[in-house]
Amino acid sequence: MLSSPITRPSTPFWRDNGAALLMGALAAALAVMVRFVIPYEREITSAWMLLVKLTPQIAACVAVAWLDVAWARWLRLHLVTLPAIFLGFLCYFVPKTFMTALDMVDGSAVFEDLYLHVVVFVPFLIVGLVLSYRVGGGSREGVLRIGAAMTILQMSGLEDLVAVVMNRRLNGIPEVWDWAHHMTVRLGHPATRNEAYAFIAAHVVLAVLTLALPRRWLAGLGRRLRPTRARSGV
| Cβ atoms 183, 177 nearer than 8 A | yes
| Cβ atoms 212, 192 nearer than 8 A | no
Per-residue pLDDT, 234: 40
Q: Where are the domains of the chain?
A: 155-214
pLDDT in tens, 155-177: 999 999 999 999 999 989 999 99
DSSP 32-45: HIIIIIS--SS---
pLDDT in tens, 132-151: 999 999 999 999 999 999 99
Residue 177: helix, strand or coil by DSSP?
strand
C-alpha to C-alpha distances, 194 to 103, 161, 164, 177, 201, nearest whole angstrom: 36, 12, 14, 10, 11
| Cβ atoms 132, 82 nearer than 8 A | yes
Q: What is the dihedral of CA 117, 130, 162, 103, to 10 degrees?
A: -20
Instruction: Provide the whole-model pTM.
Output: 0.88
pLDDT in tens, 38-80: 988 888 989 999 999 999 999 999 999 999 999 999 999 999 9
Contacts of 84 (CB under 8 A, 6+ apart): none
